[in-house]
Structure 1
Amino acid sequence: MAFVGMDHGTTGISFTILSKEIEHFKLGREELSKGKVSAIEELSKRIDPAEIKLMAITYAMGDAITTIKPLEKVENRGIISIGGAGKVTGGGTAVYSEIEKSGIPTVLIPGLHRNLPCLDERFKAAYSHHGSAEKVSISYNAHLETGWENLIVSDISSNTVTILIQDGIIKGAMDACIGAMGIIHGPLDLEMIRAIDDGYKTANECFSHAGAVKIAGIDTKVARAKDELIKRYLEGDYKARLAIDTMAMTITMEIWGLISIADKIDGIILTGSVGAMKEPINFYSILKKQLDCPMEVRRLPPTSGSLGSAQIARDIYQGKKEILGIEVESLP
């Protein structure tokens, strides 16, 4: 008996196989989009698909669905539009299509958006979109790993999304386009709004260059941007160091903003490829020190998204009817 989880990330598609042991693997988006690698073939090398009782996956914004839904009941891959989602390579779409055809029992996890019933009505009034679907998986893994019912989860990688959980229910989140910076994505400031209005760039082009890369002056492929930033930082490049420090500042502001409106916080989780990073830059310690908050701060590995999806699949198969306040539709 096995369960599989998928995390549809910016730089790649990650999978976790949850069985007697836990196995993770990640496939590059561009390799997937060009047909150089098959997700189902890679999965089959590691486990017999017939052993998989349930798979839980995420895809893009997840803004057209409000429940955790069996894949055969999902229309248009559970999204309203792919627009405004950063760079589109087609890798995630290829994986989704493979899974649809595979015959593996699968559910799709929704994103965090204003039509989700569990969210605080003030968050829904303020923002149409709060976070893509893997943020649910990351939050669930954080909840299970810590046992905390009241927590803040900050997922820091290509973008930064910070989620507020109260009494075991997701109440709201701050997405990259309105909150803290990540490596690639960040909020649109006045200069960018003017560039959009004047027709120099699209909003999506600005969003995809509003993170630390903007400050460091890095203009390379998304998959290489983090390594280039780290390389320059370690070489003592002033702009790279300013980029890291500024990113940490904006994340600190975001976390403290959510602390200020929470009824109770048991602790804070930092995760993602940057949030959990201790080597070669100890970003986790930089941010933890800057936060200087009275509650406990822990880190989870970057695999928390795909592992959380696998844990969702396992618990749904075992009869769970809701995940962090999100309803689970009955399986066929």
Structure 2
Amino acid sequence: MNEFLEQIRRGAVTLTPELAAAFAAVPREVFVPDGFRRNDGGWARPGDDDFLALVYQDDALVTKVRGKMPVSSSSQPSLMALMIEALDVRPGMRVLEIGAGTGYNAAVLASIGATVTSVDVQEDVAERARAALARAGVEGVTVERGDGYAGHPGGRFDRVIVTVGVAGLSPRWLDQLEPDGVVIAPVDHAGMHPVLAARRPETLADPAGPLSATLVCDAGFMTAAGPLAAGHPGSFPSPAGARELAELTEVAPARFDPPLDAIPYRDLWYACGVWDRRTSHAAVPGIQQSCLALIDADRTGAAVIMPDGSVRTAGPTLLGAEAAAVLDRWIAAGRPGMSAWRVGFTLTGDPAAPIWVPSSWEPPFRG
């Protein structure tokens, strides 16, 4: 267990004593009784020699797949820690959780002293989470089957935490949130789901909005179903698969030697999404990581910014020059980090099920 906590600390940077005690108190294996998918595509099951060693790695555990697509999991513990710490939850608080998963996240919150209402759209997922919480002897958690967009009608909460990728924030959550509450949610941005901490201004007259948010961390999540994943004006394009792009041709040379590592490349990707709504990412043959890309609306062409700063294009497109211009802008702005941005929201989407989506960004720098 000490090694498990050290892994979480390495991934989460900080880990409060209260949260460390909660992770130590909750047996993660109880929440994956049917096993989980291995990295090689096989299935790890209780009784396997390496089962517990895998359970207590700082990795997400995929517990349900549909076809080849994961549809439920236990999140990476260090990511859980970052989100829970940003939630600033204290004993006695009421927490609304959107996406029950295995029940493990709710169990950790309950161990801190929160009362948790968890909502999941999949009945079998909700039922397995209830059973796991009961086996673990966790009290203070209620798991409901329902559309996460609606939250928990009639409920009042001090905090909201969302454990699936969403296109925006539901107004229903704000209706159910105390005025000084916070929403922690992974919200779509350029094909990924950076985690936002959203709050209402203290002087707000309208309790339904608007919102402002800061960034907690980078992340990628499974996408929610229903209104929480609905497209809206300004939606980013979906990522491009390796077989979707034509052969890439270099149109601008490398700028970085050595190439950008994961953190500054992520920062560039986030800024590109702020400045150009055609931003997503693309699988590039021969490259292990998915790369930052601008994708034409008709998806016949794309421009890819590689970690070394070179620009490559695929198909009939004029996006190469625009990708290079975005790169110039990021460099001229001092290569700002993702956490530099403050995010504003607009209510948009289907009038019958609107969502608050990021629409403005205030950087503390010139550029």
TM-score by structure 1 length?
Answer: 0.28
TM-score by structure 2 length?
Answer: 0.26
Structure with the larger RCO, 1 or 2 (CA within 8 Å, 6+ apart): 1
Question: Higher helix share goes to which structure?
Answer: 1
Larger Rg: 2
Question: Higher strand share goes to which structure?
Answer: 2
